[in-house]
Amino acid sequence: MKIALPDLISNSYFPAAAAVELSFFKAEGLNVDLELIFPVDKAYAALRDGAVDFVAGSAHSALAAFSDWKGVKLLCAQGQGMYWFLVMHKRFAAKRGDLSVVKGRSIGAAPWVDMGLKRLLIAGGIDLEQDKVTIAPVPGTQGAGVNFGVTAAKALEEGKIDGFWANGMGTEVAVQRGIGDVVIDVRRGDGPKECFNYTMASIATTDALIARAPEQAAAAIRAITKTHAALKQDVTRAAEVGRKLFPPAEAELIAELIRRDLPYYSPVISEDFVAGMNGFGRDLGILKGPVRYGDVVATQFTDLWAS
């Protein structure tokens, strides 16, 4: 079996990567390989087309390939809340939470990831057109095999963009190199409150797989919950995974990034979250109308979240 991730050198989808590398999928009877497919809409297209069995990506992005949630279900969360950071170049001397710094600037963001930033800025009083905010793909991320956050930090350092909206790894690299300042970290209270529920890192699969092999869907959930528990018990295991998957510099950073993320490690996908995400989707025009919780989440497995 295959699980697609849109970014690998990252903390965003680390529970899925760790579930493979620490053999939690294997312990549940699943032989699962990681497959990097960027950007996230292509990962979900691969799921729709049967090229992969699961996607470990941003929950709202399932709508890129499954109109109005038809044919796909979220199995569990990898972590709670919208997990990207707005980072601006050091030369702007940006203050934490001050969105006005984006006016007249170019911000790098991946396709479908950029939606979270656009809606956050609008909710924060920024008029993208009048305030001349450019949000576009980061130069150098068009090829296959790209790891977005690290590439975004490099583009910021080279002056190709004024800021980026990306994962915690790219953020940490930019901050440690002294080239970027964190302006928005939604998980930790920055920005409008409703932005927390715009999306989350989730595990998704198709209705077809659930119908054909419900035990495999259940096994995937158990693997993620056991990975959460293992990392909470001993966060140094994140470094073990990092040394297998990441370049040396990023491998040294991952345990600390995961330590910071542990409070958000819960497999639960709440009704409040789904309502917030679907409202976000309707605002953006990627979702046509109201959708029930059970049309988004594989509710037959929710008892496994507590196991």
The model's pLDDT over 165-204, given as tens digits with 9 standing for 90+, comes to 999 999 999 999 999 999 999 999 999 999 999 999 999 9
Average pLDDT over every residue of 293-304: 98
Average pLDDT over every residue of 226-253: 96
According to CATH, the topology of domain 85-196 is: D-Maltodextrin-Binding Protein; domain 2 (3.40.190)
**pLDDT exceeds cutoff 90 at 221:** yes
**pLDDT exceeds cutoff 70 at 144:** no
Residue 107 — very low, low, confident or very high, per pLDDT cuts 50/70/90?
A: very high
pLDDT of residue 17: 98
pLDDT of residue 79: 98
Residue 145 — very low, low, confident or very high, per pLDDT cuts 50/70/90?
A: low
Same fold across 2-81+199-306 and 85-196:
yes
**pLDDT exceeds cutoff 80 at 143:** no
**pLDDT exceeds cutoff 70 at 112:** yes
Distance, in Å, from the CA atom of 90 to the CA atom of 94, rounded to the nearest integer, reads 7
The model's pLDDT over 11-42, given as tens digits with 9 standing for 90+, comes to 999 999 999 999 999 999 999 999 999 999 99
Least confident interval from 140-144, 221-225, 265-269: 140-144
pLDDT of residue 140: 83
> From the CB of residue 235, how many other CB atoms can be counted at a distance below 10 Å?
18
Residue 148 — very low, low, confident or very high, per pLDDT cuts 50/70/90?
A: confident
Helix H or strand E segment including 43 = helix 40-48
Q: What pTM did the predictor assign?
A: 0.96
Q: Check: CATH 3.90.1170.50 for 2-81+199-306?
A: no
Residue 129 — very low, low, confident or very high, per pLDDT cuts 50/70/90?
A: very high
193: left (phi over 0), alpha (psi -120 to 50) or beta: alpha
The model's pLDDT over 65-97, given as tens digits with 9 standing for 90+, comes to 999 999 999 999 999 999 999 999 999 999 999
**pLDDT exceeds cutoff 90 at 58:** yes
pLDDT of residue 192: 96
**pLDDT exceeds cutoff 90 at 248:** yes
Average pLDDT over every residue of 209-222: 98
| SS3 label, residue 277 | helix
Between the CA of residue 269 and those of 235, 273, 293, what are the distances in Å? 23, 7, 10
Per-domain boundaries in the chain: 2-81+199-306, 85-196
Between the CA of residue 176 and those of 87, 156, 173, 250, what are the distances in Å? 12, 13, 5, 11
Share of the chain above pLDDT 90, in %: 95
Between the CA of residue 112 and those of 27, 236, 282, what are the distances in Å? 33, 32, 14
Of 34, 84, 68, 46, give the one whose Cα is nearest residue 278.
Answer: 68
DSSP 47: H
Q: Are 71 and 208 a contacting pair, CB within 8 Å?
A: yes
**pLDDT exceeds cutoff 90 at 266:** yes
> From the CB of residue 302, how many other CB atoms can be counted at a distance below 10 Å?
16
Three-class secondary structure assignment of 168-226:
HHHHHHHHHCCCEEEEEEHHHCCCCHHHHHCCCEEEEEEHHHHHHCHHHHHHHHHHHHH
